[in-house]
């Protein structure tokens, strides 16, 4: 099947101006100012008019609770599995699934199966081995062998630090996990990074600096997330990034979502850029499909919300509209920067001939209106053209 996307403003993510983009099955075929359909009955060609629209690499959400998460307000607060439509409506073509607080009643094998299901339904998927806890839960017995032997496992996470819900890992324990993860990645040509949930604890990212200082594990092995949780943590994250690490901002953690001490995600990106952090070391993920408790004045749970993946697109728009970051820079935080740190680039996270035809379409208001994943049109003009098997 051949598709031609006509007259699109292409951000690959570098701005290429107005271009036509040819798709051949699941690949980008060519990018040129004018591409016309071949004539003759042998060709099946779909032509899409993208005049006035932006074409960007499909979003990569590096932190999604695919089989649900939460449970921190009791069993009833466990969130259900994600549906394909929620992923597509958010402009996402690649998800990285993970376990969070609950590594007891949720299992990596179920996460792996869910990731495979989403792949069959149309988007690309990867997972992390482990959960909040240390020693890490695994499928095959070690994080090293999970990463090396299981195709979809690309790293370890979300291991929790500086949080009352973490298993309070020691420096030695975390060093061993990072070393194992690194080796598994090297032996399989994968990222092998350790994605860390960082809580409100006072030690923030200190342990990561200490590990890099005391061992041969480089700072770049760690990617701390939720770093916009507070101003203090964001400051620590900027120091971490300027020392060579990559930091992940959570789009679902914002004052608008009820996290009163958080730095709005789009603002956090601007602050990082202003402080001299290269955009290649800033990523954003949603933490989607987890639970969020809203507390009443007495501190008891008033209601439970499920975090959506849509915050990723909302914060992309706010980066541009409210913070004045050029779209070609802002979009890197959810495409090429993520792909680079996860060693998926340029197959994912770019619009490059020969690479995956994963594309997101934005209108002039930067709203997601279309998604093409591995060459299949799954959302167009706001209409879902694919749904999950049981939706
Ligand atoms: Zn987390």
Q: Which residues of the chain have pLDDT under 50?
A: none
Structure confidence at residue 189 (pLDDT):
97
User: In angstroms, what is the span from residue 226 Cα to ligand 1's centroid?
Assistant: 7
287 is catalytic: yes
Structure confidence at residue 36 (pLDDT):
93
Residues near ligand 1 ion, CB 5 Å cutoff: 158, 197
Nearest to 335 by CA among 362, 306, 307, 369: 362
Structure confidence at residue 74 (pLDDT):
87
Structure confidence at residue 305 (pLDDT):
80
Structure confidence at residue 38 (pLDDT):
85
Q: Which of 61, 146, 287, 318 is catalytic?
A: 287
Is the pTM for the entire model greater than 0.85? yes
Structure confidence at residue 153 (pLDDT):
98
User: In angstroms, what is the span from residue 224 Cα to ligand 1's centroid?
Assistant: 10
Structure confidence at residue 244 (pLDDT):
95
């Amino acid at each position: 099947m051949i598709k031609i996307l006509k007259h699109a403003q292409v951000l690959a993510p570098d701005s290429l101006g107005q271009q036509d983009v040819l798709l051949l099955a699941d690949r980008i075929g060519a990018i040129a100012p004018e591409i016309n359909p071949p004539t003759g009955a042998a060709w099946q060609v779909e032509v899409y008019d993208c005049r006035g629209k932006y074409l960007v690499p499909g979003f990569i959400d590096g932190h999604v609770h695919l089989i649900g998460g939460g449970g921190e307000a009791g069993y009833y607060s466990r969130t259900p599995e994600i549906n394909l439509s929620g992923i597509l409506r958010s402009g996402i073509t690649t998800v990285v699934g993970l376990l969070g607080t609950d590594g007891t009643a949720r299992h990596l094998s179920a996460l792996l199966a869910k990731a495979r299901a989403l792949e069959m339904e149309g988007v690309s998927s990867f997972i992390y081995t482990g959960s909040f806890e240390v020693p890490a839960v695994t499928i095959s017995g070690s994080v090293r062998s999970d990463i090396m032997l299981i195709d979809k496992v690309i790293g370890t996470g979300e291991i929790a630090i500086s949080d009352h819900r973490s298993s309070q890992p020691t420096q030695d324990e975390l060093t061993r996990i990072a070393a194992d993860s690194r080796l598994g990645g090297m032996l399989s040509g994968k990222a092998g990074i350790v994605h860390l949930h960082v809580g409100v604890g006072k030690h923030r990212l200190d342990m990561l600096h200490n590990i890099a200082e005391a061992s041969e594990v480089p700072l770049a092995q760690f990617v701390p997330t939720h770093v916009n949780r507070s101003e203090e943590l964001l400051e620590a994250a900027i120091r971490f990034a300027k020392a060579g690490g990559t930091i992940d901002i959570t789009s679902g953690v914002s004052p608008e979502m009820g996290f009163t001490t958080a730095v709005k995600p789009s603002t956090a990106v601007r602050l990082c850029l202003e402080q001299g952090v290269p955009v290649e070391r800033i990523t954003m993920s949603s933490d989607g499909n987890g639970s969020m408790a809203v507390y009443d004045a007495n501190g008891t749970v008033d209601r439970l919300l499920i975090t959506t993946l849509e915050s990723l697109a909302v914060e992309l728009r706010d980066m541009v509209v409210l913070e004045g970051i050029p779209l070609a820079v802002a979009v890197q935080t959810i495409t090429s920067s993520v792909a680079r740190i996860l060693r998926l680039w340029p197959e994912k996270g770019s619009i490059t001939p020969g690479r995956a035809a994963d594309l997101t379409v934005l209108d002039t208001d930067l709203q997601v209106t279309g998604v093409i994943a591995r060459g299949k049109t799954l959302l167009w003009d706001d209409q879902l053209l694919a749904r999950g098997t049981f939706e």
